[in-house]
Amino acid sequence: MTTYTVISRPPTPKPAVGEEGGPAVVSSGPDGVDVVTFGCRLNAYESEAIRARASADGLSDAVVFNTCAVTNEAVRQARQAIRKARRERPDARLIVTGCAAQIDPAAFAAMPEVDLVLGNAEKAAPGALLDTSTRVRVNDIMSIKETAGHLIAGLKDRARAYVEVQNGCDHRCTFCIIPFGRGNSRSAPAGEVVDQVRRLAAEGYNEVVLTGVDVTSWGTDLPGQPTLGQLVGRILKLVPELPRLRLSSIDAAEIDPDLFKLLETEPRLMPYLHLSLQAGDNMILKRMKRRHNREDALKLVSEVRRVRPDTAFGADLIAGFPTESEEAFENTLKLVEEAGLAFLHVFPYSARPGTPAARMPPVKGPVIKDRARRLREAGQAGLERHLQRQVGRVLSGLVERDGVARAEDFTEIAFAGEAASGQILAFRVTGHDGARVIAELAA
């Protein structure tokens, strides 16, 4: 059963986790318009563009579902939420958009509860949410050449802001349907990104997160093919008043020399990298059509730790990819400890129609479930090792809300007392509870 947290402002968006593609979040406005967001940070970002457009266009009494297609479960949850919304709000206008709607608009159009289906390119266009001339408007996403980065000044929660620098993906991993929902990779111009970050810093935000579908591919479609490292360097140079800059995730195959140098020399670039690893076995990585192997991943982690020892690592990992033997799975399981991964997002493999992996010999469902459990247990052990290393240290933490802050390396900090959201304070770590460190405000 899907449950929602109804909030008056966007929550801290998180990447899709587990087999459910991330919890759904409902953002409710005074105009009777709810935006229900499934999945990743980018969807959360774009839901704010949808909300802004709904308000500007005067939309009222409506529910917009910004769907995720990363797993079958994410799609199922969206359909369940749509049916529930129709029962609870029989007169509201129900609009479905996002990756699942882009990939399979006919499935949502066939639902009698749905009034309008919009593609990813149309979901924040002027007037799109009000137009009743046709029930389905989903264009060829591969024809889209621009990002949506200009739509809003940044997704903001109480503590930090997010800026979309890139959308789409040029890679065709055999398990992934997302390129067909997002289109080819396209980058926001560097000047536009810098301007957004500068505005956010002027508003008092102490941390900005750069986000996208495949962030490390930023610049490949721009004149001169600048790199993500060059963009990060430009932001840090031209917005010196920004205390913290963070990357949402990176591809282990695409960290460029400029970015590596900044990790070594620039303390304002946060020492946390979330890696899109997916597996730790070379044969499975090859069948996934990933561009790195196990040795590449371990080398990257080692080299980053050599120049920035305080860097923490997280990773996306898939359990039960087709043809995965027990030996292959053990290689992925061992990678968690060998790479010192502290923050895992574990995805039980979910066959997506139209992907090459869906035609490969499958692993049995109970085996997939068990392997996902074992990976999560390894992840928990990795997290506890990481937390134990923090005990006795003084950490710089960005206060997210009363009693909760986030360290530079992404460690969650629980503390007693009140502090204003968005402040950066020093915390002395006294222990941990297996999920976060326990700390007190340092004098």
> Which tens digit of pLDDT belongs to each residue from 91-130?
999 999 989 888 888 999 999 999 999 988 787 778 888 8
Taking the alpha carbons at both ends of the chain, their separation in whole angstroms is 46
> Which tens digit of pLDDT belongs to each residue from 137-169?
887 655 555 655 444 455 556 688 888 898 888
CB contact at 8 A, 64 and 44 = no
188-216: average pLDDT: 93
The confidence band for 365, taking pLDDT boundaries of 50, 70 and 90, is: very high
Lowest mean pLDDT among 174-183, 215-224, 231-240: 174-183
Please indicate whether residue 285 or residue 42 has the higher confidence score (pLDDT). Answer: 285
The confidence band for 426, taking pLDDT boundaries of 50, 70 and 90, is: very high
What is this structure's pTM?
0.83
Q: What beta strand segments (E) does 159-293 contain?
A: 161-164, 166-167, 186-187, 207-211, 244-247, 272-278
> Which tens digit of pLDDT belongs to each residue from 231-256?
999 999 999 999 999 998 888 877 89
425 Cβ contact partners less than 8 Å away, ≥ 6 residues apart: 396, 397, 399, 405, 419, 441, 442
Give the SS3 label for residue 412.
Answer: strand
Please indicate whether residue 399 or residue 23 has the higher confidence score (pLDDT). Answer: 399
Please indicate whether residue 373 or residue 144 has the higher confidence score (pLDDT). Answer: 373
CA 38 – CA 25 distance, rounded (Å): 7
